[in-house]
Structure 1
Amino acid sequence: MEIYKYEIQLKVRDYECDIQGVVNNAVYQSYLEHARHEYLVAKGHSFKELTEQNILLMVSRVEMDFKRPLISGDSFAVKITAEREGLKLVFLQDIVRLADNSLCVKARVEVIAKINDKLSRGEIFDTLLV
């Protein structure tokens, strides 16, 4: 069983589905990003605030394994675990359909930081994770 640090619940909207009636693969990235933003807000930070401080968080790598599709009207949760790996902050994110608790997407998102236009050694992530 995974230990998650944050979870947000959302619902699939009709326009997020493709002609086959399932959520378009690119939309899942949007779900993942929205959950990461909300996670930071829950930790007392925002991307706007960080940007104003010349701290830029940037995705450097995304891996997504698609397990089961979501369809219009499905309620789902994006669950997050975050950990620092050297220079990177790594988000391990699962998208789970609530009706049957089935795993739909398993993702790993690596984030780097630039502070005042210089690549950070990752120390900023220690404060963001507190």
Structure 2
Amino acid sequence: MNAAQPARYVVRIAVRSYEMDVNGHVNHAVYHQYAEHARMEHIRATGLTQHALAEHGLTVVLLSTTVHFRAELRHGEEIDVDSEIAFSDRKPFTMRHRIVRVADGDGAPANHLAAEAECTMGVLDTTTRRLVADPFGRLAAAATTPELLGAGPS
């Protein structure tokens, strides 16, 4: 299975007070939400809004996700969450995210890796409720900015 050069996209997020847990740092589940936000913004930037996907009888689904925690985040910090899409010759494709502290509130190191997430995704045909073959081709055909999907499988 070969994969071409992935496409990258970045969103900046401010860590909010209500995302803290009893230990005073970001709750573990929120890291998944940060990755989800970056994923959806990356897909939306290609022109693949829910409406556009529905017009093509498609939707993007999450099949699995794993987060590796590297450093805690606290209220008042800013993070960049990058999103990287990689397609192969299989139906599932991968989106990876790095959550990086870029601005802190209390002297924590900036540009510090806080977490990494890896997600297995699929493109679902909304009529058959099955994953489509050639997810890159199907998404690229529906996208207005397909270059943000990367080069596709090699």
Mark yes or no: TM-score above 0.5: yes
Please tell me whether Structure 1 or Structure 2 has the larger radius of gyration of its CA atoms: 2
Q: Residue 87 of structure 2 aligns to a residue in which SS?
A: strand
Identity level (%): 28
1:22 to 20, 25, 37: 25
Q: Is the 8 A contact 1:76 1:95 kept in 2?
A: yes
- Pairwise CA distance, 1:20: 0.8
RMSD: 1.7
> Deviations for 1:48-83, whole angstroms, at most 9, x for unmatched residues?
421343212111111110000111111000011111
- Pairwise CA distance, 1:107: 1.1
Aligned to 1:57: 60
How far apart in 2 are the matches of 1:101 and 1:88? 31
Higher relative contact order, structure no. (Cα contacts within 8 Å, ≥ 6 residues apart):
2
For residues 9-88 of structure 1, the aligned pairs below 5 Å read 9-85=12-88, 86-88=90-92
The 4+ residue runs of structure 1 with deviation greater than 4 A are none
- Pairwise CA distance, 1:14: 0.4
The structure with more strand, counted as a fraction of residues: 1
Aligned to 1:113: 123
For structure 2, list consecutive stretches of 5 or more residues without a partner in the other structure. Answer: 1-5, 104-109, 141-145
TM-score in terms of structure 2 length? 0.76
